[in-house]
Structure 1
Amino acid sequence: MKRHLSMLLLCAWTVSLLVSCGKGRKGLLTSVSTGRPYEVLVVAETNFWDRPAGKALYRVLDTDVPGLPQSERSFRLMRTSPDGFDATLRLVRNIIVVEVDAAKYSQAAFRYAKDVYASPQVILTLQAPDEVSLAAFVEAHGASLVRFLTQVEMNRSIRALSEEHNMYVSAAVQRLFGGDIWLPAELVASKEGTGFFWAGTNAATDDRNFVMYSYPYAGGEALTKAGFVCKRDSVMKVNIPGARPGMYMATDSLMTDVRLLQLRGRQVMEVRGLWYMKGDFMGGPFVAHVWVDEARRRVVVAEVFVYAPGRLKRDLMRGMEASLYTWRLSGETENEIINHKE
């Protein structure tokens, strides 16, 4: 299988020489991987977890998912020793192998391989000559490690969407905004407004939603937190009303964070935060991508949000967030792998 050396966030690492990837063995007889999305198996000596390097790795992998209303871990962790890493565990979809060997390694690094024992699968090897350098490496690059594993799973969702997605939503987005985006087929309800489109599942629980809107570009404030919140609140007030008059969707500006990305050669502002229904008790997380379409002198916003009271939201949000990376203007080539620079 072709190796993507720039896969995900690796292109953002200034220590790229410390990272390498190996070839997998995917073929006709490759087994199907086991486990659920965002499960990670760590292969390390049993007493590794009691020492500083093990504690550093645990702190990194046990971090909370950003932008959710309650604490949810980034991954579900499983552990095994090298002796226990048997044929059954080798089929797990996400594996981290810890190797500390002064005879083999001169510096701390990680390398990864895809589809070694099963497919889809990624095996990430953390290697170091000693645990002191391993702990320092993990602490320095922990955030990138989390994003790497997160986006491996998102890439799997994107590939699944490439095979089956909501054709009605794609057609509506093409007609209204001149581009394409892949959303789950379960989003069966929809609504159109002036420069606005919404699609959702209308489910009583685990409700998933997508909105897209555009407006004339009037300056750099579009790619700021304040500019986004102001425009979002005005658009949602008109287009996402509540059950009774006076109710409408609004943004919790104190719980909103932004960062800039480079996607397909364009600057994109990622916005992650919480929404609430003014005058009601509804609310939940959202993620939006905002960019300037300079050719059309417009700002385009694509957003996903969920409503799942009393339930975990990590997998719902990450599954929907993957759709945001599938947007492309008419004429742009498809890109099924998240590959961006911060």
Structure 2
Amino acid sequence: MKRTFFLTMIMGLVALLWSACHTSPSIISATGMPYEVEVVTTRALWDDTVGVSLRAELQRPISGLPQAEPSMRVTFVTPDDFNGLTTYVRNIIILTVDAERYTKLSVRAEKDRWATGQVVVYISAPDEASVLTYLADHRGALTDYFTRLEMMRMAQVMQETYSSLVMDSVKSKFGVMLNVPSDITSFKDTTNFFWASNNANTGRMDVVVYTFPYTDEKTFTLEYMQHMRDSILGANIPGAYPNSHMTTQPIGLTYTPRTLQGKYCGVLRGLWKMEGDMMGGPFVSFARLDEANHRVVVAEGFVYAPETDKRNYIRRLEAGLHTLRLPGEFDKPLDGVEEMNGRKN
């Protein structure tokens, strides 16, 4: 009897150890910081023209910031050292050049290869020239892909952890939903304008929401959206001195159409400043047409952080703007991120 019990315990222990050793790696959560990419390739490629071009692509300066900041933080590891913890990084590019294995260049993405929440992009080519041609012909594609991916990751986190004050206020006031960082808890509410902030001494982040009637299809242009922004924010966001107010700097201002919840969304991006004051920084605003109520709904985030880099602050706010949902969209899932081949993840 004792022997049977002892054998049962041994067999159970062996089964437990086998299970631990053979459990799918996907139960491990991806590591690394947002907007960090690990490149796996040979030292020869990394130090050559291909590596220089790939780094230049991933470290492209972000538009709409007062000082140049790279899009991604890039790290490097050789295939021989790519094991253990290095395989759990959230964003990985595996670059392979081998004429015997490949006859043409291919680029594909794979989710959760070694850890959950991970994306691995494989770039495989027969020669270096193919990789250089791809990077030249698809300038910005890799950077934009990882940026959108990180935006969606942040937006998904904000589905669970967000400022309930902002959510409840904009839902009650405008009939829309918006998830923004949970530390944005101070607010000012006027008749047709909502303004909230984290009031931080370092890295201040602000969010505004407002609407105006939709009367003309020319509404969704850079010129008109800038005009409305200057008019509405200028009247509602004063500076520290008499007659000072917020305005938009025209230099470097961009307007980009995109799709949000399957519908048109205009993205205005650039720099703001206080007229009559020394304050300023980056902003990004999303404008959507609420057809049912014949109005334009604008949600914007802006940052004031003169003492530090602004990339991650403005990107946190932009991730929140991706959650802007109009009436009839409250139960819809957030938009996904396209894979490198154009299909949805």
Q: TM-score, normalised by structure 1?
A: 0.88
Per-residue deviation at 1:158? 1.2
CA distance in structure 2 between the aligned counterparts of 1:251 and 1:29, rounded to whole angstroms:
46
Superposed, 1:10-21 pairs within 5 Å as none
Show the counterpart of 1:70. 67
1:102 aligns with 2:99: yes
Contact between 2:26 and 2:114, CA under 8 Å: does it hold in 1? no
Of residues 269, 272, 275, the one that matches 2:269 is 272
1:300 aligns with 2:310: no
Per-residue deviation at 1:339? 4.5
SS in structure 2 of the partner of residue 180 of structure 1: coil
Gapped runs of 5+ residues in structure 1? Answer: 1-24
Per-residue deviation at 1:63? 0.7
Superposed, 1:171-250 pairs within 5 Å as 171-250=168-247
1:152 aligns with 2:149: yes
What CA deviation, in whole Å up to 9, does each residue of 1:308-330 have, x standing for no partner?
11201111111110011111123
Give 2:87's aligned amino acid: R
Give 1:32's aligned amino acid: S
What CA deviation, in whole Å up to 9, does each residue of 1:143-201 have, x standing for no partner?
12111111111111111111111122111111222121111111111112232111111
Per-residue deviation at 1:56? 2.0
Of residues 127, 138, 141, the one that matches 1:141 is 138
Contact between 1:158 and 1:337, CA under 8 Å: does it hold in 2? no
Instruction: Identify the range of structure 1 (190-199 vs 302-311) with the bigger mean alpha-carbon deviation.
Output: 190-199
CA distance in structure 1 between the aligned counterparts of 2:245 and 2:117, rounded to whole angstroms:
42
Show the counterpart of 1:58. 55
Of residues 251, 261, 266, the one that matches 1:254 is 251
Per-residue deviation at 1:102? 2.7
Give 1:121's aligned amino acid: Q
Per-residue deviation at 1:294? 2.2
CA distance in structure 1 between the aligned counterparts of 2:25 and 2:36, rounded to whole angstroms:
25
Larger relative CO (CA 8 A, sep 6+): 1 or 2? 1
Structure with the larger helix share: 2
Show the counterpart of 2:15. none
Instruction: Identify the range of structure 1 (331-340 vs 107-116) with the bigger mean alpha-carbon deviation.
Output: 331-340
Per-residue deviation at 1:210? 0.6
Contact between 2:148 and 2:337, CA under 8 Å: does it hold in 1? no
Instruction: Identify the range of structure 1 (43-52 vs 246-255) with the bigger mean alpha-carbon deviation.
Output: 43-52
Q: TM-score, normalised by structure 2?
A: 0.87
Contact between 2:181 and 2:316, CA under 8 Å: does it hold in 1? no
CA distance in structure 1 between the aligned counterparts of 2:250 and 2:26, rounded to whole angstroms:
51
Per-residue deviation at 1:62? 1.7
Per-residue deviation at 1:227? 0.7
Show the counterpart of 1:336. 334
CA distance in structure 1 between the aligned counterparts of 2:132 and 2:207, rounded to whole angstroms:
41
Cα RMSD for the two superposed structures: 1.9
SS in structure 1 of the partner of residue 269 of structure 2: strand
SS in structure 2 of the partner of residue 330 of structure 1: coil
Give 1:311's aligned amino acid: T
Of residues 91, 113, 134, the one that matches 2:88 is 91
Gapped runs of 5+ residues in structure 2? Answer: 1-21
What CA deviation, in whole Å up to 9, does each residue of 1:210-230 have, x standing for no partner?
111111112123211111111
Give 1:325's aligned amino acid: H
What CA deviation, in whole Å up to 9, does each residue of 1:36-76 have, x standing for no partner?
11111101110113333222212211211111110111111
CA distance in structure 2 between the aligned counterparts of 1:92 and 1:85, rounded to whole angstroms:
11
Number of equivalent positions: 317
User: Which protein shows a greater Rg?
Assistant: 2
CA distance in structure 2 between the aligned counterparts of 1:87 and 1:196, rounded to whole angstroms:
51
CA distance in structure 1 between the aligned counterparts of 2:125 and 2:246, rounded to whole angstroms:
50
Superposed, 1:21-60 pairs within 5 Å as 30-60=27-57
Contact between 2:238 and 2:244, CA under 8 Å: does it hold in 1? yes
Using a 3 Å threshold, how does the CA distance of structure 1 residues 339 and 178 change in structure 2: closer, same or farther?
Answer: farther
Instruction: Identify the range of structure 1 (105-114 vs 203-212) with the bigger mean alpha-carbon deviation.
Output: 105-114
Show the counterpart of 1:169. 166
Q: Percent identity?
A: 38
CA distance in structure 1 between the aligned counterparts of 2:221 and 2:108, rounded to whole angstroms:
36
CA distance in structure 2 between the aligned counterparts of 1:177 and 1:107, rounded to whole angstroms:
53
CA distance in structure 2 between the aligned counterparts of 1:170 and 1:28, rounded to whole angstroms:
36
Give 1:203's aligned amino acid: A
Show the counterpart of 1:310. 307
Contact between 2:25 and 2:115, CA under 8 Å: does it hold in 1? no
